[in-house]
Amino acid sequence: MPTAPLFQTLEQALSLVQSGHRLFVQGSACTPYFLLDGLARRRGELEGVELVGISWYGDVAVAAPECARAFRVNSLFVSEPTRLAVHEGRADFVPVFLSEIPLLFKRKILPLDGALVQVSPPDRHGYCSLGVSVDISRAAVDSARYVVAQVNPQMPRTHGNSLVHFRRFDAMVWGDFPLHEVRFGDACGEAEAKVGENVAGLIRDGDTLQMGIGAIPDAVLRCLHDRRDLGVHTEMFSDGLLSLCEAGVVTNRLKRFFPERTLVGFAVGTRKLYEYVDDNPAFAFQEIDLVNDPSIIAQNPNMVAINSAIEIDLTGQVCADSIGTYQYSGIGGQMDFMRGAALSEGGRPIIALTSRTKKGDPRIVPHLHEGAGVVTTRGHVHYVATEYGVAYLFGRNLRQRAEALIGIAHPDDRAMLEAAFAERYRRI
């Protein structure tokens, strides 16, 4: 640990946090679990501390039942460490477009007392980098009354709007720990691979891509090595894009917004990914209200947005954030990019999902499960892809939509869907 007087002990730094404070906690690969572990140890002396953030990874000790009196999570995008707490009523969920979260901080709708972030060490000019999670972290750091930074030499120094001078930090703690790693491609099975092939059939040379989270986006990317001059404008960058960058398939040459550079809000994946983006000027990590602004996304011609879903009904309503009333994730940036791609010249917004869950339940259903949230409305859906084909819904009436979706459902589910279709429309 450096001996510079800039750094404090964990206990000294976290003494800034007081009962009743609202704290932003950086997410994804940058989840500062070293700071969170230290905060959890103060559970006996704190009460009513609200924690806001998106997509935390790893062991988030403050979400444990024994911390419920001291800390309450108010999640802007539910992830694995907080799902049980939200389900049991020990935490809350805010449905909000990812592009609009910075407004909650800037307009003091959710005024921040403090922010806990993880950054790279200061450079010779005193600047640290927010690393691979600029997204909503930029607005939080700019808006919070105080900022506690975990300085991690393993954090990549990224280009873009990621730099923060150390004087902005009210406390700095040295914490040398590996970033959280995720391997989305490991979950890719035969069905996901076939979905990937079907989606890849919609992608042409010169397209600009946005890829959502999960195995299916990685499956799509594996099929694109024969394309040329692809661009990337995406909220999330993962390992699936690495090989395309290394092979020269991604050039960003034909993009109109941030040409020649990959525009991204955050990156999450493996150590190889983090090493690749470190000090790499080919990447521009920017705040999410810029990356996910539909009017900006639409400036790119041939914008292709690829996102997944939990289920879709026969009218085209997409649930991507809950399983019935069980809050699984959040609204995120799906609608930001679906709308932006729809407004793009030659754009293609795509919902890609397997026809059935791992348990064998249908994903194309007569109607969404009770309590399910509609993330993407039926008015916004254009393409839907499963392993059985692609349905085009834009401009189609309800009957035509149902017929198209039944045609790409699992064969063993089609009789059920056809019966539901006949029951719904027999009086029309």
Which residues belong to the active site?
235
Report how far residue 73's alpha carbon sits from residue 88's, in angstroms, rounded to the nearest whole number. 12
Report how far residue 103's alpha carbon sits from residue 101's, in angstroms, rounded to the nearest whole number. 5
Measured N-to-C along each axis, helices 414-425 and 398-407 cross at an angle, to the nearest 10 degrees, of 170
Based on its alpha-carbon atoms, the radius of gyration of the chain, rounded to whole angstroms, reads 22
- Beta strands 22-25 and 114-119: pairing type? parallel
Report how far residue 25's alpha carbon sits from residue 118's, in angstroms, rounded to the nearest whole number. 9
DSSP summary character for residue 258: S
User: What burial class does residue 303 get, using C-beta atoms within 10 Å of its C-beta: 0-12 exposed, 13-18 middle, 19+ buried?
Assistant: buried
User: Which of 25, 86, 83 minimizes the C-alpha distance to 51?
Assistant: 25
User: Which of 280, 297, 279 minimizes the C-alpha distance to 288?
Assistant: 297
Q: Which helix H or strand E contains 397, and what residues bound it? A: none
DSSP summary character for residue 178: P
- What's the half-sphere exposure (Cβ side, CA atoms, 13 Å) at 148? 27
User: Which of 174, 98, 130 minimizes the C-alpha distance to 267?
Assistant: 130
Residues belonging to the chain: 428
DSSP H helical ranges for 88-163? 101-106, 137-143
| Contact indicator for 94, 76 with CB cutoff of 8 Å | yes
User: Which of 141, 159, 180 minimizes the C-alpha distance to 31?
Assistant: 180
